Amino acid sequence: MNYVLHFCKNKKCNNAWIDEDLTNAQSRPPSWKYCQECCKKYGYVNPAKPPKRNKTDKQLENLKKGRDKLAKKRADKSD
Ligand SMILES: [Zn+2]
């Protein structure tokens, strides 16, 4: 397991700490987690895994629409 410097997700918090590198961070320190202090102070709960950044919600939606369209096309053809 690699370790990397994390920044707190809370923009008003300047905490940074060394944590497991789950995002293969290379140059930019990840900031998808809150620091322990913020978790205690504000009750934030960190996700177990980093959020996927590959596709936005909009892109995923379009992808699904495209798939549905294709499925419908195929269904029409077989009729
Ligand atoms: Zn913090």
64 Cα–ligand 1 center, Å: 36
The Å distance, Cα 1 to ligand 1 centre, comes to 23
The DSSP code sequence of 24-78 is --SSSPP--B--HHHHHHH-----SSPPP-SS-HHHHHHHHHHHHHHHHHHHHHH
Q: What is the mean pLDDT of residues 2-30?
A: 90
pTM of the model: 0.60
Q: What is the pLDDT of residues 40-71, one digit of tens each?
A: 999 999 988 888 766 667 776 887 888 888 88
How does residue 11 score in pLDDT terms, banded at 50, 70 and 90?
Answer: very high
| Cα 34 to averaged position of ligand 1 atoms, centre (Å) | 5
Distance 45 CA to ligand 1 centre (A): 12
Q: How confident is the prediction for the chain on average, in pLDDT?
A: 86
Ligand 1 centroid distance, CA of 31 (Å): 10
Residue 59 is predicted with a pLDDT of 74
